[in-house]
Structure 1
Amino acid sequence: MEQIKKFISYYKPYKDLFFADLFCALILSGIDLVFPLAVRYLINDVYILKDSEKIIQTVTYIGIGLFILYIIRYFCQYFITSWGHIMGARMEADMRRDIFDHLQKLSFSYYDEHNTGKLMSRIITDLFDISELAHHGPEDLFISIIKITGAFVILLTIHTKISLILLFFTFVMLYFSYFYNKRMRKVFRKNREKIANVNAQIQDTLAGIRVVKSFANEDLENFKFSNGNVAFLETKENSYFIMGRFFSGNNFFQGLLYLCVILSAGIFITKGTLQTSDLIVYILYINIFLKPLEKLINFTEQFQRGITGFERFLEIIQTKPDIEDKEDAQDFINPKGNILLDNVSFRYNEKHNILKHINIKILVGKTVALVGPSGGGKTTLCSLIPRFYEINDGAITIDGMDIRNIKLKTLRNNIGIVQQDVYIFSGTIKENIAYGKPEGSDKEIIESAKKANIHDFIMTLEQGYDTYVGERGVKLSGGQKQRLSIARVFLKNPPILILDEATSALDNESERFIQKSLEELSKNRTTLVIAHRLSTIKNADEIIVLTDEGIQEKGTHHQLIEKNGIYANLYNMQFDEKYT
């Protein structure tokens, strides 16, 4: 019932359109019920008249009346087909908006556990079937009920006993449909899961196509895709076997219904309780009765497709974000940038702590560098400050305010992040830089590019700032993409800066360009740096050595070298490697 209530809520913005659609369906159903009545009247009351002029006159009037009704039916059918589908498409758009909006509210933890391809399947494939159900469901249900009820009432007036036989077979068909309905629901859900797996495999392979080709692993990817594709085919075949039994069974019962009506009608005609002309009309009404009944039965397939899709839709919509604003959360206005991590601990999924009792203080405008072996939690620690993950113990404050009491949007608006793995959106250079401040002017964008040492390169391109960079910036080098990401942060102009191994994947020449840009970017900002190349953080105000045991060392570069501990060992190893 909760699912149905939620589904119905999407009709609310379009209730006028919805009721107009049902009104047209009502008129359409009524007109279809009129025709056999007109036939019965002509056979029983008009054609038996001896006055040919009267017959022609009556037939003409009935013909004109039916013609007018069919014109009305044309417009009703047009409205149902066009505006009914438009209503379904608008509901689909609303659902897609809601699920996309909700996905953006979910934290990194959710995406750590869910595949992008499967999420895309829910947004695209599932919602299409939901929109079809949204349009055709109520309409088909309403038309079927009107026609079945109207036809049955009229059939009762023609002959009660035959109508009761008809009713008995109708209940048998409905029970048969209910039985297979439950089986179809299970198999359709499996279909959804299997096609989501196929979509996930396609997304994964295409996103990594350069890696696939570089290892000549096309056969491996074909094998993995084939497994998912065959698994989907098996569930699809199973669903068609069930559907085959379902539809053929219903057609069999319809045939039995006709057989019983004809046999019983023959008995009643011999007894004189049924006229032959009434049998003709009765068969016409059986057709009107059976068509909506068949549509109602066919609707169960559509219903199962739509409702299983809606269940999967709700799984996401009803996933509560584990990081969201408190009711009394405050805006973060003009922060200075004093950051304090007070006894902070963090763990993923209730497993062992990644960070244990971390205490770090970063004063306004100072640069603090995090170094240490992989797996020590450096990137995780930096992800806690913008609340990409929620700490388990302790507190993180900025200018004395607990970040959990700050509105997420304003908190993140005041933090700039430059990562090692830069994501460049499909679009132009200008659009990618403007991502740091969508309302930024062209002048601000160009100034940011100059500060990031990328402007001169952009001007060498034929289309300059309007140059299309390709999917994930494929037309740019690693250093160029990195400088674009730095230009974004210059444009954003945040008081707090996080540099997550921003130069570790670059060649020496690119690193010099980037390092110069980063030094310019870090001026007068509170900066937290994760460094792999220790030569880049020699001038940091404080260097913190972080391992899986927690903070092991603190101090300036010279202090830590003199201490001859973990940092000195790491630095000397890099120095030796550089000159061997």
Structure 2
Amino acid sequence: MAEQNTRRHGPRGPHGGMAPGEKAKDFKGTMKKLMTYIGKYKFAVATVIVFAIGSTIFSIIGPKILSKATTELFNGLVAKIKGTGGIDFDKIGKILLILLTMYLVSAVFSFIQGWIMTGVTQKLCFRFRKEISEKIDRMPMKYFESRTVGEVLSRITNDVDTLGQSLNQSVTILITSVTTIIGVLIMMLTISPLMTLIAFVILPISALLISLVIKHSQKYFFTQQEYLGKINGQVEEVFSGQNVIKVFNREEVVKKTFEEDNDVLYQSAWKSQFFSGMMQPIMMFVGNLGYVAVAISGSMLAIKGTIEVGDIQAFIQYVRSFTQPITQVAQVSNMLQSMAAATERVFEFLEEKEEDQFAENPVHDENLQGSVTFEHVKFGYDEDKIIIHDFNSQISPGQTVAIVGPTGAGKTTMVKLLMRFYDVNEGAIKVDGYDIRDFNRSELRENFGMVLQDTWLFKGTIMENIRYGRLDATDEEVIEAAKAAHAHHFISTLPGGYQMELNEEASNVSQGQKQLLTIARAILADNRILILDEATSSVDTRTEARIQKAMNNLMKGRTSFVIAHRLSTIKDADLILVMKDGDIIEQGTHKELLEQQGFYADLYNSQFEEALA
């Protein structure tokens, strides 16, 4: 959690700023690509710049106008004391009215630029999320199998959010800060070059003191962030692994590790917060020195008549306004680094190699019979690590083919190749005589139904989850599919029945019930070729027998590939392929393979002996 928060917002630095976070590998290149995306909204961005500058200018002029009112009030009081006149409240009122109007215009301009910039950033985020979502559908299975789910999700959530928030804030702050620095400097020079010089002498002192504090505090901020992540990770592990910790009597070890890390976190957090807390007093102290110097020099110039009394008040306001945008520019530089790092990760994802969705001359055959041929298939997830060496088999339409073998033999890999989640290195897989690489991927997969060991259900009603197999199915067809999968009875006993809402993890139904629902989905899809990967592994023996009967009826007239570890469930298969180390070492019917007294017979007899035991 700490790591996600760090990615999203960046670690907090001294004085409430952003501590330097992760930096982009190619800052210029990434920003150039981002500018291309922003180019679509160049008119809106130009409008933002104009209104931001306008808002800042009106705000900068304010103190100068206010100084006129102060001078008029001072002169009036002096005249009244001398008996030569009085305070001209009408003139002061007009000046204050002009001041109020300018501040109102500044506020309106600020509101408009904020509204437009928010719209631009949200449209940009929407576009990135849309492109990422579309990209996911075109990505090869290899990408997702080589990364964690959290890593992929962070691209569409944390990184896009960081990009949007940083862009929205940094553009506005950068424009207003630069404009403020330039504008305030000009106004200060127009009042008094000498006072400006005196004020600027204070800045290096302030910068020196701040840099010293930052230099000493930065290492503590990094340590704090690092150990915060460690503590959070450890707490999560301890809570989720309480049973294991207690079984192995590791309570004291876990406690000691936590106390050591927590002590480091305490020390680093205390020191980082202490140094961070010093920033404001230092800034105030140096600032007050500047105000004293300005007040003294301004008073002397006012006595000489070089400047007016109101100019002193205006100049003090400008000095106060000058330091703030400098701090903001420093914060923006860190923000831009964080934004560039997040943007770079988004672009890296969008530029990942895609799988070919369409064949050059695609096959369009709506009446596939379901024959499957493996011709000298050779494959490895890495080309230098081949796991399937020379796979050959001929499956006729309507046959039930069982694939058996020890763990790591290549059973699931063959299914992935058949579905074209991966392409073979050598050889070919053909369906009805057509090389599967000659099909558009989506059209090829429309001919396959699939039930996996790991069930997948989404948030929605049970009716919607089953209908996912065929979206145009009627309610009656969904119910018939559920009956065929022996799921109708348990669905009827649930609150709401088919309209019961499954939560995000589908944890409000059992694992076995989840499997029944996915089987019902496959039955409803009514595809020519079925793939059943340990489809009954999560149900009890009695339910398994009932499902097996439903499966046998479902598989009639369809080519079916059944991956099974319990060999008793595939005795009726038309063909059994026995795999070991990526190759078929035996094939035949259950009876034929037992008579061979080979590897399959050993597997079967070992399971039979375990069952008896």
What TM bracket, shorter-length normalisation?
A: 0.7 to 0.9
Q: Give the secondary-structure state (helix, strand or coil) at the position aligned to 2:387.
A: strand
Report if the CA contact (8 A) 2:362-2:440 is conserved.
yes
Per the TM alignment, residue 367 of structure 1 is displaced from its structure 2 partner at its CA by 2.0
- Please state how far the C-alpha of 1:29 moved relative to its aligned partner: 1.0
Distance in 2 separating the partners of 1:221 and 1:465: 49
Matched, 1:576 2:609: yes
CA shift at 1:169, angstroms?
A: 6.8
Relative to the length of structure 2, the TM-score reads 0.78
> Which residue pairs with 1:391 in the alignment?
424
**Structure 1 residues 262 and 382: CA distance shift in structure 2, 3 A:** same
Check if 1:30 corresponds to 2:53. Answer: no
Where does residue 537 of structure 1 map in the other structure? 570
Instruction: Please tell me whether the aligned partners of residues 155 and 345 of structure 2 are also in contact (alpha carbons under 8 angstroms).
Output: yes
In structure 1, distance between residues paired with 2:128 and 2:219: 23
Q: Which runs of 5+ in 1 are unaligned?
A: none
Cα-to-partner distance string for 1:56-92 (whole Å, 9 max, x where unaligned): 3332222222223333334334445556445544544
Aligned to 1:147: 180
Do 1:422 and 1:481's aligned partners in 2 also have CA atoms closer than 8 Å?
yes
Shift, 1:485, TM fit: 0.7
Question: What is the Cα deviation at residue 423 of structure 1?
Answer: 2.7
Q: CA deviation at 1:183?
A: 12
Question: Partner residue of 2:30?
Answer: 3
**Would you say 1:59 and 2:92 are equivalent positions?**
yes
Give, in whole Å, the separation in 1 of the partners of 2:503 and 2:64: 66
Aligned residue for 1:69?
102
Deviates more, 1:222-231 or 1:57-66: 222-231
* Residue pair 1:115, 1:200 contacting (<8 A) in 2 also: no
Compute the displacement of 1:537 (Å): 1.9
Once the two structures are overlaid, the 10-residue window that deviates more, 244-253 or 25-34, is 244-253
Cα gap change, 1:447 to 1:370, in 2 (>3 Å)? same
Letter in 2 for 1:494: N
TM-score w.r.t. length of structure 1: 0.82
User: What is the rounded CA distance, in whole Å, between the counterparts of 2:346 and 2:272 in structure 1?
Assistant: 21
Partner of 1:134: 167
Separation of aligned partners in 2, 1:197 and 1:98: 34
Write out aligned runs for 1:70-469 (5 A): 70-80=103-113, 84-85=117-118, 87-163=120-196, 237=269, 277-321=310-354, 323-325=355-357, 328=360, 330=362, 333-334=365-366, 335-350=368-383, 352-469=385-502
Deviation at 1:274, TM superposition (A): 5.4
**1:471 CA drift (Å):** 4.9
Superposed displacement of residue 25, structure 1: 2.2
Q: Between Structure 1 and Structure 2, how many residues are aligned?
A: 578
Alpha-carbon deviation of 1:53? 8.7
Taking the aligned partners of 1:579 and 1:450, their CA distance within structure 2 comes to 33
Q: Deviations over 1:484-530 (max 9, x none)?
A: 11111122222221111222343320111111222222222221111
Please name the residue that 1:525 is paired with: 558
| Contact in 2 for aligned 1:117/1:200 (Cα 8 Å) | no
* C-alpha displacement of 1:232: 11
Q: 1:378 deviation in Å?
A: 0.7
2: CA distance between counterparts of 1:153 and 1:562? 99
- Alpha-carbon distance in structure 2 between the residues aligned to 1:313 and 1:39: 48
Identity, % of aligned positions: 31
Question: Which fold has the larger relative contact order, with Cα–Cα distance below 8 Å and residues 6 or more apart in sequence?
Answer: 2
Contact kept? 1:47, 1:55, Cα under 8 Å: no
Change (3 A) 1:484 1:216: farther
Q: 2:62 corresponds to which letter in structure 1?
A: F
Counterpart-to-counterpart distance in 2, 1:235 and 1:389:
51
- What amino acid sits opposite 1:545 in the alignment? V
What is the distance in 2 between the residues matched to 1:291 and 1:428? Answer: 55
Partners of 1:315 and 1:222 in 2: CA distance:
38
Gap regions ≥5 residues in structure 2: 1-27
Question: Is contact 1:24–1:80 with CA below 8 Å preserved after alignment?
Answer: yes
Alignment CA distance shift 1:70-1:382 (3 Å): same
**Counterpart residue type for residue 30 of structure 1:** I
Aligned to 2:19: none
Rounded Cα–Cα distance in structure 2 between residues aligned with 1:147 and 1:523: 78
Amino acid at match of 1:506: V
**Secondary structure in 2 aligned to 1:353?**
coil
Contact in 2 for aligned 1:181/1:300 (Cα 8 Å): no
Cα drift, residue 38 of structure 1: 1.1
Q: 1:389 to 1:287 in 2, by over 3 A?
A: same
Cα distance change on mapping 1:181 and 1:7 into 2, 3 Å: farther
Q: 1:142 to 1:190 in 2, by over 3 A?
A: farther
One-letter identity of the residue aligned with 1:460? T
More displaced stretch, 300-309 vs 476-485: 300-309
Secondary structure class of the residue paired with 2:545:
helix
CA distance 1:188–1:418, change in 2 (3 Å): farther
What secondary structure, in the 3-state scheme, does the structure 2 residue paired with 1:396 have?
Answer: strand
| Alignment deviations for residues 124-178 of structure 1 (CA, whole Å, 9 cap, x no partner) | 4444333221211111111112221112122222233544565677689889999
Contact residue 396 and residue 402 of structure 1 kept, 8 A: yes
Taking only aligned residues, the RMSD between alpha carbons, in angstroms, comes to: 4.5
- Cα pair 1:197 1:228 within 8 Å, conserved: no
SS in 1 for 2:536: coil
Tell me which moved more, 517-526 or 335-344: 335-344
SS of aligned partner of 1:499: strand
